[in-house]
Amino acid sequence: MMRTRPLQVALLGCGVVGSEVARIMTTHADDLTARIGAPVELAGIAVRRPGRVRAGVPAELITTDATALVKRGDIDVVIEVIGGIEPARTLITTAFEHGASVVSANKALLAEDGAALHAAAEERGADLYYEAAVAGAIPLVRPLRESLAGDTVNRVLGIVNGTTNFILDKMDTSGAGYSEALDEATALGYAEADPTADVEGFDAAAKAAILAGIAFHTRVRLDDVHREGLTEVTAADIASAKRMGCTVKLLAICERAGDGRSVTARVHPAMIPLSHPLASVREAYNAVFVEAEAAGQLMFYGPGAGGAPTASAVLGDLVAACRNRLADTTGPGESAYTRLPVSPMGEVVTRYHISLDVADKPGVLAQVAQVFAEHGVSIDTVRQQGKDGEASLVVVTHRAPDAALSATVETLRQLDTVRGVASIMRVEGE
């Protein structure tokens, strides 16, 4: 028999995502009721600016007192889409203390304090769902937590930020420089007025921390993730990638070590071959490549941001949390039993593409090769072009510890015959 008393939902935040959540909950109320097994209704919507016009959002539900809303004893699920660390953290823990489950899209908070939030939810017998925190509408968190729970995931490689993918795609297809591509992304609404979180890799790093923790059943925080943005990527880097049959993407890479005793998580620009599935991901789309022992290679693709796509993920979690309330149970919590350490970037085995400006005279190539040999780095390919006493030397290495590659570059900078290091970029996907 279907429960008749509606499940009560509190919504924290009514911006681009929150307003879309409210709209869908209102217009698809009958469908949600049928899927959940009981009516579900908005009990209140907490906002900072109550006077703002919000089309389709009932004005009587608007409040500025978020704390009072989550403290109501009749709230079954709290949806948090305000972002940031505070007051979101306090509001979520308060919601748990008052018996509510939580659906969040807050990647920054989960990457910073996910373990404590999971512990608070478990203590109160509540759910914590966050599909929308990683890759928008793309189902990724649930497949990793549930569908692949019986498998061993060894690698997660992906494009998890639409703004940076749009910028790099425009640089690749139109020949635009970074600033021009960023201006276009801003004009189209893909980039914020302050794009730092996106272009410096903070957004992708938070998502990498969440993905690594779920995939490898260990705790990975934002501080554990090596992060490099794309602000230093130049048109020359894009051109070099094309000559190699590659393109440049800002990648989030989470890996289990070959011996299974540690994990790594990193975000940085990288060249990937045009034959790799991620190379064809264009515009502001996201895609994540998962490699598991039994399942093999899986790819998840779709819009990684935006009001409607993110709201889709939020509502999927809402349905799951409400079903659990009706069944008096909870879904999967934190799985961190492996307690694997996170290795520093210097221990990660990578490949480098290095472009040097050198003197065009005999012996330079041998001198450069000697530096690589001294640091135990093997050269895969080398290309040299020279004219009028100046030359460019492009070296692609075999895989080696990142610390050895970095030390090689620093030694090269000290050579009298090396005028400068034009570009350095890692090579992935091979």
By 3-state DSSP, what share of the chain in percent is helix, strand and coil, each rounded to 5? Answer: 40, 25, 35
Catalytic residue selected from 107, 170, 207, 249? 207
User: 71 catalytic, yes or no?
Assistant: no
Q: CA torsion angle for 10, 15, 21, 27 (degrees, to 10)?
A: 110
From CA 305, how far away is CA 161, in angstroms rounded? 8
Given a contact cutoff of 8 angstroms between Cβ atoms, the answer to whether 41 and 364 are in contact is: no
CB under 8 Å to 266, separation ≥6 — which residues?
208, 225, 226, 227, 252, 253, 254, 345, 348
Q: Which residues on neighbouring strands pair with residue 299, listed in sequence order?
A: 289
CB under 8 Å to 210, separation ≥6 — which residues?
107, 110, 111, 114, 130, 133, 134, 141, 220
User: In the structure encoding, which two tokens stand for residue 343, read together?
Assistant: 């290795």
Given a contact cutoff of 8 angstroms between Cβ atoms, the answer to whether 367 and 285 are in contact is: no
CB under 8 Å to 381, separation ≥6 — which residues?
395, 396
Report the half-sphere exposure of 280 (CA within 13 A, side-chain side). Answer: 7
Task: Tell me if the bond preceding 87 is cis, omega within 30° of 0.
Answer: yes
Given a contact cutoff of 8 angstroms between Cβ atoms, the answer to whether 35 and 54 are in contact is: no
Torsion angles phi and psi, residue 20, rounded to 5: -70, -35
From CA 204, how far away is CA 251, in angstroms rounded? 8
DSSP class of residue 146?
I
From CA 140, how far away is CA 25, in angstroms rounded? 23
Pairing of strands 101-104, 77-80: parallel
Q: Where are the beta strands (DSSP E) in 47-132?
A: 62-63, 77-80, 101-104, 128-129
For the annotated catalytic residues, the residue numbers are: 207
